[in-house]
Chain A
Amino acid sequence: MVFLGNSAIGKRSKVCLGGILIITISLFISGCWDQKELQERLFVLAVAIDKADEGGDSKEEKDKKSIENFVQPNGKKLYHLSYQILQLTPASGSGEGSRKASISTYVISGTGESMFEMLRDMLGQVSKGFWFEHIQAIVISEGAAKQGGLQPLIDLFHRDTEMRWLIKLLITSGEAKKILEFKPPSGEPGGMFLARSLRLYKKNPHVPGWIPGLEEATQATDNKKTVQISRVELVENIVKIGGTALFKEGKFVGYIDEYATKGTAFFSASEKSAIITIECPDHPGKILAFELLRHETKLTAHVSGEDIYYTLDIGMKGNLGESQCGIQHDAMDDAMVQKIELLVAEEVKRNILYAFHIYQGLQVDPGDFAAKLRAHQPLAWERVKEHWDEAIFPNVSLLPSVNVTIENIGSHN
């Protein structure tokens, strides 16, 4: 090189070498080798899983299903899988014939047993490849969940690398595909609407917020814990999330209502805010509402001889949110405020025990009780862990103690 560097040939060679080097590097760093515009991708926003025979019986529906079908070498026609796909339409034209950019969704379906096989067969219905990185929610119908449990339904979603852990899970007693076809009045794509709705659990304890997604469901299944999934229902044009579906070892156990869901939030300390209503002690038939703003909750496992029991100590602070006794009340009266505090505490206790007894009746530990015993009383846990759900948990006692403080009353004299 020293020799070349001193000659005229050497200089030319250096220039050539440099040029070749630049061209070669630019080939690799362009980043365009797999470029695909957004509108050329089919983003799947939500997934619905129904039983294969669920849905319309009309001739049109049946014809549609027969086209969606494929010949299956193995397995049966167990599930009806639907994808909600984001349609991005760019703005085009100018003047009168112009069209604004818009976002909408449409739903396509397939029938089979393997989710992966159905997915690949559904490519026969579309012109672009599916992209799963942006799935927001998976809606499972009760029928599909009862048919083979949760595991076969979500296996693909936690095995495939394209899927994200934050996908939300929902369950419905009706047809799941219908929920994908619902167009929210706010104009958002349906999948986004469902996922965002679940994020409001902090203010709405009627929604189980603490185990909302695929990650938590997978973890709970791995740890042999109860899986709790939000319930969503659609009637006419109303979609509502509220209540919980319980799964034990992957099997669907049943639903619990909003009141029990709220009770669960109280003993799991997963609520951020809540509205607790009581009947006014002085004006029967009139409602008072306490708005919970802060709480300290402690669930403790105790073992006394053979007996296992739990204490639940809760301190709640909040405001008087509503008093429908209206102007008849003097909320500045300390004695009155104290009376309301005691009644709210009683109502919280009632709510907790309502939820707890439902879990005992279903022989399903929501997760908190076994975990506490294992952590704090490992010896007792070793003794009972084999028959915890069936024999021990339904017979343990829960002793709640609730202390409520009303800080602001929102009224004046």
Chain B
Amino acid sequence: MRELQDRNFVLAVAIDKADEVKEVETFFQPNGTKRYRVSLQILKLASGGEQKEETKTFIKSNTGESIFEMVRDMLGQNSKSLWFEHIQVIVISDAVLKDVGLSEILDFFKRDAEMRSRIKIYVTSGKAQSIIEFNPPSKEPGGVYLANIIRLHLKNVHVAGSRTDLGYTIQYFDNKSNILLPRIEMADKVVKLSGSAVFKKDKFIGYADEYAVAGLKFMLGTEKSAVVTIDSPKTPGYQVVFELFRHDTKLTPHVENGVIYYTDDITMYGNIGELQGDTSLNDTLDPEYLRILEVAFAEEIKRTIYYADKVFKKDMKVDPVSRFATKLKSHEPNTWEQVKDQWDELYPTIPLYVSVNVSIRNIGNHK
């Protein structure tokens, strides 16, 4: 039996490039180089501690190449054994991912029996260690805070959060699929999750911004709710906002005379969520004006989807999470067999036709 306070629960892991090797924290390595810095955020459970500052966690770090070897050597800096069952999040710096594949970094977490599939994985352009050193103002332990941010992806269209944890990432590796992971950034004392890191198989390609992520979620129908803004048609310079509640989205591959193209048919239902212009001019009780707004919202959603399509097709040349390939494989298996070997080259040339229909249900207004 071991009491809770006798265990060092690791809540978060940060993986950086080892730009600075501190001799005291590291060890003599028979194989490999000092390539990575691994930092662990550990939950502090002892009461009546010596430190005045009320922090819930502390950080230990080490440099080396094998993550397993580093973790075991880190026991030399700890008085209690490390427990990995409650890791909430792994933050990886993109400097590491520019050199090696994601699967190499995650191998230890994938193979070890202590790890859980629901560990969240984030990518940052800065220093991953700083992110796990961040003490949230809400006083939650940092790792728990970081993992909970992504649970809000259902309402935040700027975060592509579904199926991005360790378990799903391993499935993507096995299926040789492309991967999207959420991007996290920190400046001063602000931590924010938005946008996505884009991977071709397990190789890091770059980042897609929030607008492209929103477009991708509309395109694939993975959003639950969203807020769409347009310039008011009657009072330019003021915004009207559509709050999406429900949608039917259908992405379909078509093959005609050997030509492949996709159609995306979307119907969206929702409310007017905000109207910043003069309400007497923007008369939402007028059915005709509502039709004008519905068309304008549909146009904006189309524009968002085409923007995402451009980012993934033209700029990155990556089929996001291999969704287009999967659709073709299931709906047009014969065509897939013919093109699967050249899919990566073919995908950027395949057109997408989007049709959006918006229906405004409630206006939240009266006369």
Interface residues of A, Cβ cutoff 8 Å to B? 100-105, 183-189, 192-197, 200, 203-204, 206-207, 233-236, 238-242, 257-259, 273-275, 277-279, 286-287, 289, 291, 320-327, 347, 350-351, 354, 409-412
Contact = CB atoms under 8 A, between A and B. Distances in A.
B113 to A, nearest CB: 7
A187 B30 contact: no
A207 B75 contact: yes
Interface stretch (B45-53, B155-163, B267-275, B345-353): B45-53
Given A196-B79, A350-B30, A275 B66 contact: yes
Contacts of A192: 79
B101 A326 contact: yes
B32 A277 contact: yes
Contact of A233 (B24, B29, B32, B69): B24
B107 A186 contact: no
Q: Residue among A195, A291, A320 with the most chain B CB within 10 A?
A: A291
Given A203-B72, A321-B112, A240 B25 contact: yes
Contacts of B80: 186, 196, 200
A258 B173 CA distance: 35
Q: Residue among B58, B77, B110 with the most chain A CB within 10 A?
A: B77
Nearest to A194: B79
B209 interface: no
A267 B120 CA distance: 41
B79 A326 contact: no
B81 A287 contact: no
B31 A183 contact: no
A259 B27 CA distance: 8
A104 B68 contact: no
Contacts of B104: 286, 324-326
Given A291-B68, A321-B108, A259 B28 contact: yes
Given A188-B46, A326-B202, A410-B112, A275 B28 contact: no
Contacts of A239: 77
Interface string B135-173: 000000000000000000000000000000000000001
Nearest to A351: B30
Interface in B41-87: 42, 44, 46-51, 58-59, 65-69, 72-73, 75-81
Contact of B111 (A200, A323, A351): A323
A207 B76 contact: yes
B69 to A, nearest CB: 5
Given A235-B22, A240-B77, A187 B48 contact: yes
B25 A322 contact: no
Interface in B284-304: none
A320 to B, nearest CB: 7
Q: Residue among B42, B66, B112, B176 with the most chain A CB within 10 A?
A: B66
Contacts of A102: 48-49
A287 B65 contact: yes
A38 to B, nearest CB: 14
A178 to B, nearest CB: 12
A410 B73 contact: no
B68 A321 contact: yes
Nearest to A288: B66
A24 to B, nearest CB: 44
B114 to A, nearest CB: 11
Contact of B69 (A103, A104, A277, A410): A277
B103 interface: yes
Nearest to B173: A327
B23 interface: yes
B84 to A, nearest CB: 13
Given A200-B81, A410-B111, A187 B50 contact: yes
A411 B103 CA distance: 12
A397 to B, nearest CB: 22
B8 interface: yes
Contact of B75 (A204, A279, A324): A204
29 contacts: A101-B48, A102-B48, A104-B50, A183-B50, A185-B59, A186-B42, A186-B44, A188-B49, A197-B79, A203-B72, A203-B75, A204-B73, A206-B27, A206-B76, A235-B22, A235-B23, A239-B77, A242-B27, A257-B27, A258-B27, A273-B72, A277-B31, A287-B66, A289-B66, A322-B111, A323-B111, A347-B31, A350-B30, A410-B112
A92 to B, nearest CB: 14
A203 B48 CA distance: 29
Contacts of A204: 72-73, 75-76
Contact of B30 (A105, A259, A321, A411): A259
Given A186-B79, A277-B31, 14 more contacts: A100-B48, A183-B50, A185-B58, A186-B49, A192-B79, A233-B24, A236-B24, A258-B73, A273-B72, A275-B72, A287-B31, A289-B108, A321-B112, A351-B30
B58 A186 contact: yes
Contacts of B72: 203-204, 206, 273-275
